[in-house]
Amino acid sequence: MNVKTVRLAALWRASVPLILSAGFFVLYRLLLLRKKAIAVNGLDDLRPTILEVSRFLALAALIIFVVRLVDAVVFDLIMRRRRDVVAPQLLRQMVSIAVYLLLFASALKTFFDYDVRTALTTGAVLAAVIGLALQDTLGNLFGGIAMHMEGGFNVGDVLHSGEYVGVVESVSWRATRIRGFNNQAIVLPNSVIARERLEVFPRGRLTARVLPVSVDYNIPPATVIGILSQAAAHVDGVARDLPCFARVASFADSAVIYEIKYHTRDYSERDRMDADIRKAVWYALHRNKIAFATPIRAYQQYMPPDVQHAISADDVRARLSEVDVLSPLSEDGRATIAAATRIHFYSKGETILRHGAAGDSMFVVHAGTASVRLPDDSPEGWHEVAQLGPGTVFGEMALLTGETRTADVIALTDVTALEIGKDSLQPILHGHPELASAITAKVVHRRGHLDAIRSEEAEEEETTIVSRVKAWFGL
């Protein structure tokens, strides 16, 4: 929209109230002549109120024209030409509202004999209700008045309020409109702005901006500072009034952090200027064969700590050589079982075996102490029948016959146990079936004491157990 179009629009806006005023005044004069004619004929059917309303409308349109004329003369001509100051839109609106109220109150008093002060004194309760209903609106109004009385910012300034940053486009009695750096329109209520901490970057005044740059440690700072200062000083928008300079800000893990400080009179161009400065710095450093910093990492070979519970293969073979149940086996047989043995660690109080559970392996206590317990009707629900130390075995019947566990085994201390499974013993027995009877004899001999405690019945016949072992291993 060109200047001529704007002036024509302003002229038309000012002329419309004047035209309306003239039209209503002509209507008033016509009605007045008609009333006089009716009065001459002895009739009086034209009410005086119609005349007063038409005259009031003519005066109302004239008041609008006068207020707009005063606004243009005072703010557009006198203030701008004499003081070179652009009046805030909010101030102009408030002055116009005040003049409207005064002139319309005078017109109501003159034509309708209605005193506005009477309504103000008699409507206190109504005013209070309206005030509560419009408290947000009034807060915006007085917030805008307070901001402009303090002269905090003007149209064209960059405003930072809360999480919003943008250029001030307009200020009304209700809100301030800013244009964000992503070209988004943001409308901030004046009451919100009045409560927030404001950061204002006035247009036309010098405002500083700091831009960080990371450079390799091997380049002397004096060299880098000169290059950065010169590269940033020639960017469009950077003010020449104050020198643009660089400085060492900090030492990071892999780089020296420099800060480029420049000044500008148009802070709304900060994103564009930052990008141009970074581009100029890249080319300047590239010309001088200076590399940007890259991350530096130092690697150290991981050394695992010594495992306190580690058991060597020799320790396992030595422990199995002490187990009487495995004594019928040859040295090679025990070595084969040792290679397939699994090592387990249990903490104090942990359950190793639970009675009634299925299993196909036996355990050898390598270190620590375990308790063998049978369930009963005592308050504890069990009673201890044995304590097992290093070299003792438990769960051997599950290994040989596959029967369920007959007792609970609880770790009284931290326990290291060796587990021998059916799969490690089966190849040996298939190669030497006669070992089944020898191992069974050892098991029956050491189980005699436990069976005597659990029951007064006679011991199982050894031949019966041997047959079960052979059936379990498929011999």
Looking at residue 434, what is its pLDDT? Answer: 76
For residues 155-177, b (16+ Cβ closer than 10 Å) or e, as one string? bebbbbbeebbbbbeebebbbbb
For residues 128-149, b (16+ Cβ closer than 10 Å) or e, as one string? eeeeeeeeeeebbbebbbebbe
**Residue 15: pLDDT over 50:** yes
User: How far apart (Å, rounded) are the C-alpha atoms in residues 173 and 140?
Assistant: 7
Looking at residue 350, what is its pLDDT? Answer: 93
**Residue 99: pLDDT over 70:** yes
CB neighbours of residue 368 within 10 Å: 19
Highest mean pLDDT among 81-95, 141-155, 185-199, 457-471: 185-199
Burial class (CB in 10 A: 0-12, 13-18, 19+), 44: exposed
Percentage with pLDDT > 70 across the chain? 69
User: How far apart (Å, rounded) are the C-alpha atoms in residues 446 and 465?
Assistant: 14
User: Distances in Å between the alpha carbon of 342 and those of 144, 371, 404, 419, 424?
Assistant: 82, 21, 20, 5, 10
DSSP 269: G
Q: Are 371 and 355 in contact (CB under 8 A)?
A: no
**Residue 449: pLDDT over 70:** no
Q: Which residue has the higher pLDDT, 227 or 119?
A: 227
Q: Which alpha helices (DSSP H) does 196-349 contain, by range?
A: 221-233, 270-287, 313-321, 331-340
CA angle 425, 431, 437 (to 5 degrees): 70
Q: Which residue has the higher pLDDT, 290 or 453?
A: 290
User: How far apart (Å, rounded) are the C-alpha atoms in residues 148 and 88?
Assistant: 8
**Residue 89: pLDDT over 70:** no
Looking at residue 134, what is its pLDDT? Answer: 46
DSSP 406: -
User: How far apart (Å, rounded) are the C-alpha atoms in residues 324 and 399?
Assistant: 15
Question: Which two tokens mark 426?
Answer: 């089966």
Full 3-state SS string of 120-189: HHHCHHHHHHHHHHCHHHHHHHHHHHHHHHHCCCCCCCEEEECCEEEEEEEECCCEEEEEECCCCEEEEE
Q: 284: Cβ–Cβ under 8 A, 6 or more apart, which residues?
A: 227, 228, 230, 231
**Residue 223: pLDDT over 60:** yes
For residue 444, give the amino acid letter.
V
Q: Are 228 and 213 in contact (CB under 8 A)?
A: yes
Q: 457: Cβ–Cβ under 8 A, 6 or more apart, which residues?
A: none
DSSP states of 303-343 as a string? -PPPPTT---HHHHHHHHHT-GGGTTS-HHHHHHHHHH-EE
Instruction: Tell me the average pLDDT of the chain.
Output: 77
Q: 112: Cβ–Cβ under 8 A, 6 or more apart, which residues?
A: 52, 56
Rounded to 10°, the helix 313-321/331-340 angle is 130
pLDDT band for position 302 (cuts 50, 70, 90): confident
Percentage with pLDDT > 90 across the chain? 21
Tens-digit pLDDT profile for residues 357-402:
888 888 999 999 999 998 888 888 888 988 999 988 888 888 888 8
Q: Are 355 and 416 in contact (CB under 8 A)?
A: no
Question: Which two tokens mark 458?
Answer: 């006679």
Looking at residue 221, what is its pLDDT? Answer: 92
Tens-digit pLDDT profile for residues 240-291:
888 898 999 999 888 999 999 999 998 888 899 999 999 999 999 999 999 8
Mean pLDDT of the 403-409 span? 88
CA 405, distance to chain mean position in Å, is: 55
Mean pLDDT of the 72-96 span? 62
User: How far apart (Å, rounded) are the C-alpha atoms in residues 62 and 24?
Assistant: 10
Backbone angles phi, psi at 146, to 5 degrees: -65, -40
Mean pLDDT of the 313-323 span? 87
Looking at residue 352, what is its pLDDT? Answer: 92
